[in-house]
Chains A and B, each alone.
Chain A
């Protein structure tokens, strides 16, 4: 499994490629702990390169989501391949996690739902 990390203004994007299973999940789990416990509380997982995910991978993602939400952020998914999408739908985890078609939409969702503090609303 390969992990590629890109930091944006208030979001960290983790691009994942390969299999997320019990043999590889520890790296993802550790990375999510680092991100969710740091100043970045918003994470996007770009799953375009993932060809397989098992329950340990799903558990790591759900735990990351819980950690982010506990501090007012969120973990969202984008570019889920058909095989991953099917697993998420069959387990109904698609109802627990927000999923976007592409990275841009996922990034925009954070901008839309969490405006920066300095943005003032006109009276």
Chain B
């Protein structure tokens, strides 16, 4: 039995304009639906935890995003949170964001009680999927304990992460291991810091620092550090608004090129 030849794709330029219009309408509708579906995976509200004020916001570059963040209150005094950025952007990256959220929550249900053990579980569980897709994800997993005002965290390739003590200046916290999906086992080491009243931690995605202006200059880490120093005395919501305002002003008319996520946790 002979095999039928595969149909040759017809160049889209040769398609009738009515067909193209219908196709575009369908695609737009599908993307709108995807955007709505993805929105259900993001936190609908910011949790209230003793000793800290929290705020988070994300702005996608396209209809769907490769950035994600999540809050999981473990008790009245303990909050686990995460911020991450799947490599690439748009639809391809968006496939992985609910997966990350779900696997992190599954790890917690299975009794993984530290940021390091959660990260190890996630990395082992998703390594093959990320490898097959030629992708990875940066991720920051933090566990805040109100009684001790201690924040334990692992940082797998996430940047920018900025910490500012109330009496110090803003500084970048370097990741302590590469992103999830690079190695079969994560070499990340757990770190900790204090969140005394006035201390601020900002966890963001690279879309914040990669904003370009009309002269093709990027916003960069130095400007962001300086900005955090300038606005850190305000509430997390106001700090977030100030940062996005500054980024928007810097970019002027230039279209957002990457997803931008910002989570701020501040001791009160």
Q: Is the CB of B134 within 8 A of A91?
A: no
Any B CB within 8 A of the CB of A34? no
Which of A55, A66, A87 touches B85 (beta carbons < 8 Å)? Answer: A55
Chain A contact residues, CB within 8 Å of chain B: 21-22, 29, 52, 54-56, 58-60, 62-63, 66, 86-87, 89-93, 95-96
Residue of A nearest to B138 (CB): A91
Interface range on chain B (Cβ under 8 Å from partner)? 20 to 34
User: How far, in whole Å, are A89 and B90 apart by their CA atoms in the complex?
Assistant: 25
Contact of B135 among A21, A59, A93, A95 (CB under 8 A): A59
B206 surroundings in chain A (CB, below 8 A): 54-55, 87
Q: Are B157 and A93 in contact (CB under 8 A)?
A: yes
Q: CB distance A93 to B178 under 8 Å?
A: yes
Tell me if B134 and A89 are in contact (CB < 8 A): no
A54 → chain B closest CB, angstroms = 6
8 contacts between A and B (CB under 8 A): A52-B218, A55-B85, A55-B89, A55-B206, A62-B136, A63-B131, A87-B206, A89-B174
Q: Is the CB of A90 within 8 A of B182?
A: no
The interface residues of chain B lying within 8 Å CB-to-CB of A60 are 134
Main secondary structure of the interface of B (DSSP, over half): loop
A96 and B177 CA atoms in complex are apart in Å by 9
Please state if B88 and A90 are interface contacts (CB–CB under 8 Å): no
A54 to B135 CA separation, bound complex (whole angstroms) = 13
- Is B244 in contact with chain A by the CB < 8 A criterion? no
Nearest-CB residue, chain A, relative to B90: A22
Whether a CB of chain A sits under 8 angstroms from the CB of B221 is yes
Which one of A56, A87, A92, A96 contacts B87 once the chains associate, using CB atoms below 8 Å? A56
Assembly CA distance A60 to B178 (angstroms): 15
Chain A nearest CB from B204 CB (Å) reads: 12
* A95 pairs with B89, CB closer than 8 A: no
- The reply to whether A91 and B172 form a contact with Cβ atoms under 8 Å apart is no
Which residue on A lies nearest to B182, using beta carbons? A96
B176 touches A92 (CB 8 A): yes
- Cα–Cα distance between A54 and B178 once the two chains are bound (Å): 15
Question: A96 contacts which chain B residues (CB < 8 A)?
Answer: 178, 182-183
For residue B125, CB closer than 8 A to chain A, the reply is: no
Interface contact A54-B210, CB-CB below 8 Å: yes
A87 to B210, CA, bound (A): 11
Contact A55 B88 (CB under 8 A): yes
Chain A's closest residue to B131 (CB) is A66
| Docked-complex contact A92 and B134, CB < 8 angstroms | no
- Bitwise interface map of B from 145 to 179 toward A, beta carbon under 8 Å scored 1, else 0: 00000000000111110000000000010111111
B contact residues around A63 at 8 Å (CB): 131, 134-135
Q: Give the distance in Å from the alpha carbon of A29 to the alpha carbon of B133 in the complex.
A: 12
User: For the complex, is B60 an interface residue (Cβ under 8 Å from A)?
Assistant: no
Please tell me which one of the listed residues B87, B183, B218, B257 contacts residue A58 in the complex, with CB atoms under 8 A apart: B87
Check if B199 is an interface residue, CB within 8 A of chain A.
no
Assuming the A-B contacts A22-B88, A95-B187, are A62 and B182 also in contact, with contact meaning beta carbons closer than 8 angstroms in the complex? yes
Contact A91 B88 (CB under 8 A): no
Interface residues of B in 26-57 (CB under 8 A from A): none
Contacts of B176 in A (CB 8 A): 92
List the 10 shortest-distance A-B pairs measured between CB atoms, nearest first.
Answer: A59-B87, A63-B134, A90-B159, A91-B157, A55-B87, A92-B175, A56-B88, A92-B178, A96-B178, A96-B182
Within the complex, what minimum Cβ distance (angstroms) separates B65 from chain A?
13
Question: In the assembled complex, how far is the CB of residue A19 from the closest CB belonging to chain B, in whole angstroms?
Answer: 10
Who on chain A is nearest to B176 by CB?
A92
Which residues from B are CB-within-8-Å of A92? 156-157, 174-179
